[in-house]
Structure 1
Amino acid sequence: MKIMISPSLWPLDKKKEEAAMSSQAPRKRYREEDLAEALEEHERGGAKVTQLSNKYGIPERTLWWKIAKRKADRAPMRPWPAPALGSESEEDIFQWALAMQRKGYPADKETLISKGKEIAAVMFGKTRGAGTVGRGWCDRFLRRHPQLTTRSAQTGAGAQSIYNMDETSFERNVKTRKVIARRGSRNVWSRSVDANFDLTLVACGSASGELLPPLFIVPGKRLNRDVLAAADFPGARVTTADAGFMTTAIMREWLVAFAADVPTPVRRPLILVLDGASFHMDESIDIVAEQVGVRIVQLPPNSSHLYQPLDVAVFRGVKQALKTEISNFLVGSGQTTMKKRDAVRVAVSAWIVGAVQRPSNIVASFQAAGIWPLSLPAMSKRLTSFQRNGTSVDSPSPAWLVCRQTIHTEILVLPPETEKKQRRGKTVDVKRRLLTHDDLQRD
């Protein structure tokens, strides 16, 4: 019986035999210093592995393995050319792009390229930096920063589309004020103007500083022509109500007029911020608002003094101007009663002086209230200030006031005062008596 051995198996057996023989010999026949020097020489001059093996007595297999391991331990090389503007400049551009998006002004590719060209001109000069940045650089920049991508920008509501409507009433009497009088005067009397009716001023302004014509609501059923003529302001409107205050019917008509007064180029829908406690709001208001392209945003109830922009920074100037106009009316006419036409004329003058001539106050009022730009920190700051009721941050809290009373009465206490004993003599007059202990206490 013959056993045939395949020739392909013979080399395998031979390799096993050589490996077994080599395992009996020492595996390492070189020094670590020679290995390090061989690797350094290979990197410096690119010497062949065969030459290094013969020179230092290191097996070629060992050299190849050490070279490969050394390359793997290093940081991988960039798969694209080095940034034309440098890594630091590109990091600044990257952070700028993120900040622009947070501000609501996201940059497009053209803006990115324009900024890159400006930076290149500063770094390399106008001549050399002219062709450094282009469309290709922008594409590579986006690949190097995968956190950025391109999106279709949605044009949202801007400052010119956000409005606030608020109401303020006409003060019947001017409050007591300080006046100049002769020293020694006991009582100083001052004439005042009294109006036996209520007048409501309905104002509306945008976050961009635009004021719409006001609406004046006077009591009654019919309107005298002289009252309407007194509203001498472009676009101003006058109407009547039983008590002189806003009603649901007037609110519906005002919404239609509001949408018509806003310039056509302003993007719709319009955002109208209102006080959430308005009693004249119902479903019919929402229907009309939807028809005219207005979206109503109602603030929390009873927060007009905190978050209504017109109430925050505009109406104060109007009321101050109103006091001045009433005083001028009193001095100029000598009358102590005011008719409806006079009240409307005075209110128009106060509106012009206190609001129309101060457009910066309108923009500042939206910012201070945190309505636009929308700011939760600004809203929280106003709420915190209101809750402190004007006290400073360092003022003690109510909880501490309760604890302080307990601490003062139970913990931080002082020892009682020592009672002063009545001074008595050390001797007792006998006076021919037989003294007892009771006599000691009496004397």
Structure 2
Amino acid sequence: MTEYFNNIKDVVENIDPENIYNYDETNVTDDPGSTRVERVQEHSKMAISLMMCGNAAGTLLPPFVVYKAQNLYENWVARGPAGVKYAATKSGWFDMETFERWFFEIFIPHTADKPGVKVLVRDNLASHFSVDVVNKAKEANIYFTSLPPNTTHLTQPLDVAFFRPAKIMWKSILDKWRVESRLQGTIPKEIFPSLLLSLLNQLKPNTPKNLASGFRACGLCP
């Protein structure tokens, strides 16, 4: 940890908070912690992966969604938040191709007009990197900084201040949707974008404060 902070201090010390980012892959399920036994059968543990990214100034970029499926259908991407991108993989997790899409379709467009060096703080997922990502990072003055292994609960801003309230809110949204829709089992994928929109809208008032406090708590900015 000491070595990590000694190294990262030189990287982030003079960089604008708007240019210090943390990204991480998480997932949302259709059973985010059931508390009543009789409700367990109503859920399928379907998981959808999200790449989330925010900066120390409190700005959250649009998510990138990955479904576990062979193909991606038009009605799976409708009525969601503005700017969100979608993909499908056999595993339901990000691979090199989907990470490259996130980097070029979300991160680069949202940061291209910001002058100066950009820093992307991440856990150790170098397997996601393609040659094109590395070359573009060099060209655009983007630096990747890895977190120490097994420390993301202490060192990653998204873990510290964003994901927990997001998961709590997601459970509340699902509970309300199930009551209103009277549907059991797996959430239809064509419904997911609208639920994601509801999640981000409900988180929005506190997102800037939560992100900034996460970077502060992790010792990254200031």
TM-score, with length taken from structure 2? 0.84
Coordinate RMSD, CA, aligned:
2.2
Offset from partner CA, 1:248-275 (integer Å, 9 cap, x none): 11112211220111261x2232111111
Of Structure 1 and Structure 2, the greater strand share is in 2
Is 1:280 aligned with 2:112? no
Report the equivalent of 1:261.
110
Q: Percentage identity across aligned positions?
A: 25
The structural deviation recorded for 1:196 is 5.7
Report the equivalent of 1:171.
29
Q: For residue 166 of structure 2, what is the amino acid of its counterpart?
A: V
> In structure 2, do the counterparts of structure 1 residues 292 and 254 end up closer, same or farther at CA, with 3 Å as the change threshold?
farther
Q: How many angstroms apart in 1 are the aligned matches of 2:214 and 2:27?
A: 19
The structural deviation recorded for 1:303 is 1.8
When Rg is computed on C-alpha atoms for both structures, the one with the higher figure is: 1
The structural deviation recorded for 1:329 is 1.2
Q: Is the 8 A contact 1:271 1:295 kept in 2?
A: yes
2:166 maps to which of 318, 322, 337: 318
Question: In the TM superposition, what are the counterparts of 1:167-316 in structure 2 within 5 Å?
Answer: 167-177=25-35, 189-190=38-39, 193-195=42-44, 197-230=46-79, 232-257=80-105, 258-262=107-111, 264=113, 266-276=114-124, 278=125, 280-282=127-129, 284=131, 285-316=133-164
Q: For residue 104 of structure 2, what is the amino acid of its counterpart?
A: V
The structural deviation recorded for 1:214 is 1.0
SS of 1:235's equivalent in the other structure is coil
> In structure 2, do the counterparts of structure 1 residues 251 and 176 end up closer, same or farther at CA, with 3 Å as the change threshold?
closer
Q: Is the 8 A contact 1:172 1:196 kept in 2?
A: yes
The structural deviation recorded for 1:233 is 1.2
Q: How many angstroms apart in 2 are the aligned matches of 1:295 and 1:279?
A: 13
Q: How many angstroms apart in 1 are the aligned matches of 2:16 and 2:23?
A: 17
The structural deviation recorded for 1:227 is 0.8
Q: Is the 8 A contact 1:251 1:280 kept in 2?
A: no
Q: Is the 8 A contact 1:256 1:292 kept in 2?
A: no
> In structure 2, do the counterparts of structure 1 residues 293 and 361 end up closer, same or farther at CA, with 3 Å as the change threshold?
same
Report the equivalent of 1:365.
214
SS of 2:184's equivalent in the other structure is coil
Q: Is the 8 A contact 2:24 2:122 kept in 1?
A: yes
**Greater RCO (Cα-Cα under 8 Å, separation 6 or more):** 2
Q: How many angstroms apart in 2 are the aligned matches of 1:313 and 1:213?
A: 17
Structure 2 unaligned runs (5+)?
Answer: 1-12
Q: Is the 8 A contact 1:193 1:330 kept in 2?
A: no
TM-score, with length taken from structure 1? 0.44
> In structure 2, do the counterparts of structure 1 residues 242 and 268 end up closer, same or farther at CA, with 3 Å as the change threshold?
farther
Q: How many angstroms apart in 2 are the aligned matches of 1:256 and 1:174?
A: 31
